[in-house]
């Protein structure tokens, strides 16, 4: 052992998250000496943390979740970067829109009536409140299933609302109606944006730390908005009195906002399956026998418009909607013992699925896969041999009963689905939960219906 160090063998070591480990050795005088990355400090009651924290580590602790990067998903950092860029651009656009609204209601105009301005403001807020309630009732259950698409929709709608606010002063006769429509859109944005933000936070939190991830996201947004406020204080005096320049700046910030939002949403890698991702993965599996990994499927997932499933799929529908006679119930239950019943309308290419009380996530995933396979009989180019034979039968006999095709696809899925499910597990998909849109209807039926009728 080197004499100049005066150290004995290492006694212990410690590590914070995935950071560099630091070891503890005993010095000749009995004190503890910690070493890490070329630094050395002496342990003592007044120096519990060892060396002083760097400014960078201080910023990490303030604006990033504890345990970063291990405590969040791998897509956290790229998403948050682009999310901060879009928030900054939105803050600048919002300042221009707010200035236009204040001018429109008479701020700075000695002839403007306070009561008229107040009435306009109250009508605007009331319209938005009603819109928030109606939209939450209408689309609230669908926001989890397509969080990325709804997040992008909310931000684009927000830009449209701000554009209406900027243009409102140019049409004084329609000012009140314009700002009411704008506030209605903003309230819809609040519902869709807030709900999808919660869904994305749940995806990013990996250590039961959703509250911490949400709080740090709020801190990041506050910092970005503060920066936007400071820039707005410099910008607004420059554009005041220059409507065309103000409009040009708004379009510039809006372009940056939409681009950053698209990059942020595209950076997300969701490991759970919704209908769009399931269709992409299933289509690839049927054509090539391989299961796409979450990263590849998320990159291919349409955010605006694109390759959506060719079939209209409804999960968890009421049983009374599908049957009106005993024979129809017999057709639905014939040839399988799965805890779901499936009805396929060929002319509309519509699949409706009744779920049993015992249906769990795997059953729902199989039912959705079954419905998409039926849609693939008309939409996909290449299919496995078993399904290709069914498609040829369907082409040769278009009048063949739908329930007969459904029964035969049950038999095909008995072979294909276990392989598909194993491929999903191996590729890294989480199949114990899903983001498929499922209604709350559940039913029970006799497994041996024919024997019971006899």
**Domains along the chain?**
1-50 (no CATH), 76-267 (1.20.1250), 275-453 (no CATH)
pLDDT of residue 52: 44
pLDDT of residue 69: 86
Q: How many Å apart are CA 222 and CA 227, to the nearest integer?
A: 9
pLDDT of residue 310: 76
pLDDT of residue 106: 60
Q: How many Å apart are CA 149 and CA 147, to the nearest integer?
A: 6
Secondary structure E strands in 304-409: 312-315, 340-345, 350-355
**Which 3 state secondary structure label does DSSP give 13?**
strand
The b/e string for 124-136 (b: 16+ C-beta within 10 A; e otherwise) is beebbeebbeebb
The b/e string for 320-331 (b: 16+ C-beta within 10 A; e otherwise) is eebbeeeeebeb
pLDDT of residue 176: 85
Secondary structure E strands in 370-419: none
Which residues neighbour 45 within 8 Å (Cβ) at sequence distance 6 or greater? none
Which residues neighbour 115 within 8 Å (Cβ) at sequence distance 6 or greater? none
Q: Closest Cα partner for 317 from 349, 279, 344? A: 344
pTM for the model stands at 0.84
Secondary structure E strands in 190-307: none
- Give the Cβ contact number of residue 152 at 10 Å: 21
Residues of the chain with pLDDT under 50: 1-7, 45-52, 108-110, 112, 451-454
pLDDT of residue 282: 94
**Which 3 state secondary structure label does DSSP give 140?**
helix
What is the enclosing helix (H) or strand (E) of 34?
Answer: strand 32-36
- Give the Cβ contact number of residue 278 at 10 Å: 24
Question: Could you say which DSSP state residue 68 is in?
Answer: T
Would you mind telling me the total number of residues written for the chain in this entry? 454
What digits encode the pLDDT tens for the residues 25-56?
777 777 877 776 555 555 554 444 444 456 66
What digits encode the pLDDT tens for the residues 83-135?
999 999 999 999 999 888 877 766 544 454 567 667 776 887 888 899 899 99
């Amino acid at each position: 052992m080197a004499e100049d160090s005066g150290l004995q063998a290492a006694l212990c070591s410690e590590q914070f998250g995935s950071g560099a480990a630091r070891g503890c050795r005993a010095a000749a005088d009995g004190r503890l000496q910690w070493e890490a990355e070329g630094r050395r400090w002496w342990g003592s009651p007044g120096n519990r943390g060892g060396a002083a924290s760097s400014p960078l580590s201080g910023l990490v602790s303030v604006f990033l979740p504890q345990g970063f990067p291990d405590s969040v998903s791998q897509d956290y950092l790229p998403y948050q970067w682009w999310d901060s860029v879009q928030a900054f651009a939105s803050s600048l656009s919002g300042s221009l829109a707010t200035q236009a609204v204040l001018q429109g209601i008479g701020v700075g105009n000695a002839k403007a009536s306070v009561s008229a301005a107040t009435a306009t403001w109250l009508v605007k807020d009331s319209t938005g409140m009603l819109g928030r309630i109606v939209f939450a009732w209408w689309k609230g259950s669908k926001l989890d299933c397509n969080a990325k698409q709804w997040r992008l929709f909310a931000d684009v709608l927000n830009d449209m609302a701000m554009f209406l606010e900027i243009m409102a002063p140019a049409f004084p006769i329609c000012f009140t109606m314009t700002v009411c429509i704008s506030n209605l859109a903003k309230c819809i944005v609040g519902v869709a944006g807030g709900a999808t933000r919660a869904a994305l936070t749940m995806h990013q939190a990996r250590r039961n730390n959703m509250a911490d991830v949400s709080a740090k996201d709020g801190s990041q947004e506050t910092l970005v908005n503060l920066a936007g406020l400071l820039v707005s204080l410099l910008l607004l005096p420059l554009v005041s009195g220059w409507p065309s320049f103000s409009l040009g700046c708004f379009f510039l910030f809006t372009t940056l906002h939409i681009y950053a939002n698209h990059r942020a949403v595209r950076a997300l890698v969701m490991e759970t399956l919704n209908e769009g991702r399931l269709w992409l993965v299933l289509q690839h599996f049927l054509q090539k026998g391989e299961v796409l990994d979450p990263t590849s499927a998320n990159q291919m997932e349409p955010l605006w418009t694109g390759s959506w499933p060719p079939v209209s799929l409804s999960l968890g529908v009421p049983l009374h909607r599908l049957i009106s006679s005993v024979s129809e119930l017999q057709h639905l239950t014939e040839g399988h013992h799965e805890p779901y019943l499936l009805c396929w309308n060929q002319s509309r290419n519509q699949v409706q699925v009744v779920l049993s009380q015992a249906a769990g996530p795997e059953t729902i995933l199989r039912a959705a896969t079954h419905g998409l396979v039926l849609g693939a009989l008309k939409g996909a180019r290449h299919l496995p041999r078993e399904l290709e034979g069914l498609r040829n039968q369907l082409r040769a006999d278009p009048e063949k009963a739908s329930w007969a095709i459904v029964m035969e696809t049950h038999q095909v899925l008995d072979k294909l689905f276990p392989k598909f499910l194993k491929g999903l597990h191996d590729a890294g998909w989480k199949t114990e939960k899903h983001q498929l849109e499922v209604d709350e209807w559940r039913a029970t039926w006799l497994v041996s219906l024919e024997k019971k009728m006899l």
